[in-house]
Amino acid sequence: MKNWHIQTIGKGAAYIYIEQIVSMISGYAFWIIMSKVITPEIIGVSSSIVSFSAILTIIAGFGIPRGIQRFLGPSFSEENYSEAKRYVNISIILVSIGVLGSTVTIVVAFQGWMYQYLHIDSNLLAIMIVLSGSNTLFSLLYFVVVSTLKTKVLPIAMTVSSIAKIISAITLLLAGWGALGLTIGYTMGFIVSSILLGIFLNLKLKSAKKSPVGSFSQTAKNIFASSTANWIPALVTAIGSQLGTVIVFGVQGSQEAGLYFIALTLVIGITALSSALFNISFSVLSSMHDGRKRFAWRAIRLSLVIIVPFSISLIFYSKEVMELLGQNYGGASSPLQILLLSLLPAVVASGISVLVYAYGHYKQVLAIGLATNVPRTILYFVLIQMYGNEGAALSYTIGAITGFAISIIVAKRMNFQIYWKDLGLIMVIPAGIGLAMNYFGLNYIVGIVVTIALSYLLFLKLQILTSLDIADVSVILPGTASKAALRVSRIIERALRK
Q: How far apart are CA 479 and CA 449, in angstroms?
A: 27
Q: How many domains does the chain have?
A: 1
Whether 86 shows a pLDDT value over 70: the answer reads yes
pLDDT category at 1 given cuts 50, 70, 90 is very low
| 6 has pLDDT over 60 | no
Instruction: Identify the CA nearest to 17 among candidates 397, 272, 342.
Output: 272
Q: What is the pLDDT of residue 282?
A: 58
- Which residues have a Cβ under 8 Å from the Cβ of 195 and sit 6 or more positions away? none
- Cα separation values, 320 from 48, 268, 327, 328, Å: 25, 19, 9, 12
Q: What is the DSSP string of 185-222?
A: HHHHHHHHHHHHHHHHHHHHSTTPPPPPTT-HHHHHHH
Structural domain span for residue 229: 3-418
Q: Is the model's pLDDT at 346 over the cut of 70?
A: yes
| pLDDT reported for residue 78 | 72
Q: Is 486 a member of any domain?
A: no
Kindly state the average pLDDT of the residues 151-176.
89
**8-state DSSP, 167:** H
Q: What value does the CA radius of gyration of the chain take, rounded to a whole number of Å?
A: 22
| pLDDT given at position 210 | 56
Burial 358-392 (b: 16+ CB within 10 A, else e): beebbebbbbbbbbbbbbbbebbeebbeebbbbbb
Q: Is it the case that residue 238 has pLDDT exceeding 90?
A: no
For residue 478, the model assigns a pLDDT of 47
pTM score, two decimals?
0.75
Q: Rounded CA gap, 155 and 146, in Å?
A: 12
439 exposure class (CB count in 10 Å sphere: 0-12, 13-18, 19+): exposed
Q: Which of 112, 126, 102, 116 is nearest to 49 (CA)?
A: 126
Q: Are 353 and 408 in contact (CB under 8 A)?
A: no
The better pLDDT of the pair 57, 487 is held by 57
Q: What is the DSSP string of 295-311?
A: HHHHHHHHHHHHHHHHH
Summarize pLDDT for 213-230 with one digit per residue, the tens.
446 777 888 888 778 766
Q: Is the pLDDT of residue 241 over 90?
A: no
Query: Are 70 and 145 within 8 A, CB to CB?
Result: no
What is the reported pLDDT for 213? 47
- b/e code 115-148 from CB counts within 10 Å (16+ = b): eeebebeeebbebbbbbbbbbbbbbbbbbbbbbb
Distance CA 100, CA 85 (A): 23
**Stated length of the chain:** 498
Categorize the per-residue pLDDT at 4 as very low, low, confident or very high, splitting at 50, 70 and 90. Answer: very low
In a domain, 492, yes or no: no
- Note whether residue 497 is domain-resident: no
Q: What is the pLDDT of residues 420-437, one digit of tens each?
A: 999 999 999 999 999 999
Which stretch of DSSP H or E encloses residue 232? helix 216-252
pLDDT at residue number 286: 57
* 400 CB-side CA count, 13 A: 23
| Backbone dihedral angles phi then psi of residue 476, each to the nearest 5 degrees | -90, -5
Does 438 reside within a domain? no
Residue 280 lies in a domain: yes
Quote the pLDDT of residue 469. Answer: 65
Neighbouring residues of 476: CB distance < 8 A, sequence distance ≥ 6: 7, 10, 11, 13, 14, 482
| Cα-based torsion angle of the residue sequence 15, 17, 19, 24 in order, rounded to the nearest 10 degrees | -170
pLDDT number for residue 378 = 93
Give the model confidence (pLDDT) of 124-153 as tens digits: 889 999 999 999 999 999 988 888 877 888
Question: 208 in a domain, yes or no?
Answer: yes
Of 116, 387, 291, 4, nearest to 395 by C-alpha is: 387
pLDDT at 268 over 60: yes
Collapsing DSSP states into helix, strand and coil, what is residue 252? Answer: helix
Over range 23-46, report the average pLDDT.
78
- Give start and end residues of each alpha helix (H) in 333-419: 333-340, 343-358, 362-387, 389-413
Cα separation, 484 vs 482, whole angstroms: 5
For 176-214, how does the pLDDT look when each residue is reduced to its tens digit (9 = 90+)?
Answer: 888 899 999 999 999 999 999 999 888 877 765 555 544
The pLDDT of residue 2: 43
* Domain presence at residue 478: no
What is the pLDDT, as a whole number, of residue 183?
Answer: 92
Judge contact between 139 and 57, C-beta under 8 A.
yes
| pLDDT, average across residues 458-485 | 65
Q: Does residue 9 form part of some domain?
A: yes
The model's pLDDT over 244-262, given as tens digits with 9 standing for 90+, comes to 888 888 788 878 888 888 8
